[in-house]
């Protein structure tokens, strides 16, 4: 998993509340066995018309927001079913940071497992960021995970955000559950070497 320490990126404002995982990645695309390639299906029912053509009115299809890596959105983002495909699709599309007033718990946890930093700010602060992103072309934010600070390029906006120490450590070091286990690889090998091959009895040193 790619580590996140500092990030500078263009924003896109998706000013909707209660966006659930079926809207993020519709269920018909969950049959794939890979963890990659889901970006083209992100927000599929909003990005495309019924005939498969681009919905030019949808925010992600506007030239102004091409190549954005920071998603600004409303409350309760990622609600609904607990599909891990949702952060896979967001990450594959190019989003590394999501800023919202609140997230569904399981989605929030899945973000950290998949190299996405979900940041919680108050509704008023998110609305301010969304307003800036709507009015200013290429509105860009800087995120520093070490100092837990967000600011814009003109430094007219500067915000502090909370994050649990353990989650911060994992993101800064690119550690998912597998990575955390491998940090203890030496201890695991020592433990296994001390086990008997018969009956799981620990050898006496």
pLDDT in tens, 126-164: 999 999 999 999 999 999 999 999 999 887 899 999 999
The answer to the question of residue 189 being in a domain is yes
Do residues 153 and 197 share a domain?
no
pLDDT at 204: 53
CA 194 to CA 204: how far, in whole Å?
8
The predicted model scores a pTM of 0.86
Do residues 77 and 162 share a domain?
yes
User: What does each C-alpha distance from 191 to 36, 102, 178 come to in angstroms?
Assistant: 35, 42, 18
Do residues 164 and 181 share a domain?
no
Q: In the sheet where 117-120 sits, what is the strand order?
A: 117-120, 97-100, 70-73, 6-14, 140-144, 149-152, 158-160
The answer to the question of residue 55 being in a domain is yes
**The two three-digit tokens of residue 104, written as one number:** 């569904």
Do residues 200 and 135 share a domain?
no
Do residues 31 and 132 share a domain?
yes
Higher per-residue confidence, 195 vs 183? 195
Do residues 109 and 181 share a domain?
no
Q: Are 59 and 14 in contact (CB under 8 A)?
A: yes
Do residues 130 and 31 share a domain?
yes
Q: For the chain, what is the domain count?
A: 2
Residue-range definition of the domain harbouring residue 83: 6-174
Chain segment 15-73, per-residue pLDDT in tens: 999 999 999 999 999 987 788 899 999 999 999 999 999 999 999 999 999 999 999 99
Do residues 29 and 101 share a domain?
yes
The answer to the question of residue 111 being in a domain is yes
* Residue 180 pLDDT exceeds 60: no
Q: Is the dihedral of CA 22, 90, 29, 85 positive or negative?
A: negative
Do residues 168 and 185 share a domain?
no
């Amino acid at each position: 998993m790619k580590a996140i320490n500092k990030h500078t990126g263009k924003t896109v404002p998706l000013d909707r509340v209660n966006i659930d995982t079926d809207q993020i990645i519709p269920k018909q695309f969950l049959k794939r066995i890979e963890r990659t390639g889901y970006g083209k299906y992100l927000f599929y029912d909003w990005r495309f018309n019924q005939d498969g053509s681009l919905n030019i009115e949808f925010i992600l299809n506007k030239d102004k927001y091409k190549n954005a890596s920071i998603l600004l959105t409303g409350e309760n983002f990622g609600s609904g079913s607990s599909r891990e495909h949702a952060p896979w699709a967001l990450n594959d599309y190019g989003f590394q940071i999501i800023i919202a007033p609140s997230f569904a718990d399981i989605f929030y946890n899945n973000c950290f497992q998949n190299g996405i930093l979900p940041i919680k700010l108050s509704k008023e602060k998110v609305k301010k960021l969304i307003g800036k992103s709507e009015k200013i072309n290429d509105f860009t934010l800087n995120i520093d995970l070490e100092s837990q600070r967000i600011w814009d390029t003109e430094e007219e906006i500067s915000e502090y955000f909370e994050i649990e120490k353990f989650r911060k450590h994992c993101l800064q070091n690119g550690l998912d559950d597998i990575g955390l286990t491998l940090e203890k690889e030496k201890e695991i090998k020592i433990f296994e070497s001390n086990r008997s091959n018969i009956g799981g009895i620990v050898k006496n040193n």
